[in-house]
Amino acid sequence: MDLNWTQIFILVIGLVFTVLTGLITKQVIPWLKERKLYDAAMIAVHAAEALYGRYHGEDKLAAALKSLTDKGYDVQSEPVIEALNAAWKDLDRAMIDAGEKEVPGKEAFVTVTDTVIDNG
């Protein structure tokens, strides 16, 4: 019995590509969508910070929400709210690390969830 190595090689390559396609579909594409959402939230947060500066939390939040809405995101959805909160906390941390801002007390934080639900 003679083995046909060409067919075995083609079968193995096909199997590898099938596994890679499944991996990309289940892992990479959702990660890219999540990353795109986080990047959009970071852009909205930085733009709002640049536009209003410090001590205008409600105005900055409204501007960030409007920016995300204009880009087609549902600002009532939990992933969008989580991305916006994460982006804001990252900006706060960067400003604290740079010495531009002091560490606020817990009561100083305005959460996105409270504002979105109140405006509801």
Instruction: State residue 119's pLDDT score.
Output: 45
Q: Is the pTM of this model over 0.85?
A: no
pLDDT tens string, the chain, 120 residues long: the values are 677 889 989 999 999 999 999 888 888 888 888 889 999 999 999 999 999 988 898 999 999 999 999 999 999 999 999 999 999 999 989 988 988 888 776 555 556 665 554 444
Instruction: State residue 110's pLDDT score.
Output: 55
Residue 44: which residues within 8 A CB-CB, separation 6 or more?
63, 64, 65, 67, 68, 84, 87
Question: Tokens 């920016």 belong to which residue?
Answer: 67
- CA–CA gap between residue 5 and residue 8 (Å, rounded): 5
Could you tell me the residue ranges of all domains in the chain? Answer: 33-119
Query: Which CB contacts under 8 angstroms, 24+ apart, belong to 13-20?
Result: none
